[in-house]
A and B are shown apart, each in its own frame.
Chain A
């Protein structure tokens, strides 16, 4: 079955099990009459026997109808709700108190304008976990604390980054943190697999780990000297991992026009969800963008089969600057 979702201040959407559709009222100046049992010429031809008058009732009439158009699920609210009360660990005082601002799957289904599958998929993407029946996002510092436990253990045990044993992690770290949290951090930052002997291992995501460490470094200042940052960053990542700027797409932006070059935190998930508002926001941060720089910040706006190029054509104006194509706003930005 289908569900229509939305709060009073939101535009209604219709959701199937795995898709979301915008709902609009379409008006027509024509009159639409609906007639149950009215026969079409084909149906009458087939039914040669009757040449009698068929009395049909018009069930009703209308000047408008609801129209559906497939749309992106409206998932920004999901992160917003879960960030109301991020999980800070078992030692935190906060959790003892109320269940206010904590959401079960049912709660989310009634508050988020998206299909169930789209919501569950997004929960996985943002590394949410269920604690006592409620979906929680980890507070970033706590998340990094957990990650650090794991990377230090990998280092001291000299494990290969692609073969981190679950069992040993739980044994060694179980006294420091809840076992569910240790397993959760391994699932968030690694790919789980089972070897021939039936043992569970994780292949760690180098890019994701380096990215998280970069975020930790960048969030403490407005911007950084790029080369200094790169040095500190490489020293901070686990042994055997290479920190690369392309790992930071959608997380940080390099300013190549400043002397020296600088880098600052800009997270795509902090930007508006609406297309026009997103572009306005990006153009107020930087007047002219290259396609390479802007793509990570508009990729998620693409509808099914829509390209970044199509979005740029619609929402931006292009020009050449020093032989490079750049994009700026179509309208003045205050």
Chain B
């Protein structure tokens, strides 16, 4: 049994994606799943520190160059078993060499704190 992996055809080589790593889980605000919903806003400070705003929380992270880059594989068809050659095929669609790691505790953003009650 075998499955083969090849790089995606096309001009310009493989796409470069970025990984965002969050501690814990992301839940949708309303029921209905995550697909199509806005996660949040990503900013970078002048020093290059990534800042993620999710709902009313703010997370600070850091840019990490991955020691072991990732390859993103897309499965192409389960395929019927053939007499020769692999039946399953994965295409290497993109490489990930950088990740934005957010592991500090999210801080709630409080906008208006009156000094005196």
Binding site for B on A (CB under 8 A): 1-8, 14, 29-42, 44-45, 56, 58-59, 61, 65, 106, 109-110
Contacts and interface: CB of A to CB of B under 8 A. Distances in A.
A86 B35 CA distance: 59
Q: How large is the interface on B (under 10, 10 to 19, 20 to 34, 35 or more residues)?
A: 35 or more
Interface of B: 1-7, 15, 17-26, 34, 39, 42, 44, 48-50, 63, 70, 72, 84, 86, 94, 96, 98, 100, 103
A294 B32 CA distance: 63
Contact of B17 (A1, A34, A65, A110): A34
Determine the main DSSP class of B at the interface with A: strand
A106 B82 CA distance: 13
A40 B25 contact: no
A42 B48 contact: yes
A4 B72 contact: no
B1 A110 contact: yes
Contacts of B48: 41-42, 45
A4 B19 contact: no
A31 B25 contact: yes
Nearest to A42: B48
Contacts of B3: 3-4
Contact of A44 (B2, B6, B44): B44
Given A3-B86, A36-B15, A59-B17, A41 B4 contact: no
B2 A110 contact: yes
A30 B72 contact: no
Contacts of A14: 5
B13 to A, nearest CB: 14
Contacts of B19: 32-35
A52 to B, nearest CB: 13
Nearest to B90: A4
12 contacts: A1-B5, A1-B7, A4-B86, A29-B23, A30-B21, A31-B21, A31-B26, A32-B20, A38-B100, A41-B48, A65-B70, A110-B1
B5 A2 contact: yes
B98 A31 contact: no
Contacts of B18: 34-35, 38-40
Contacts of B23: 29-31
A31 B59 CA distance: 14
B4 A33 contact: no
A4 B17 contact: no
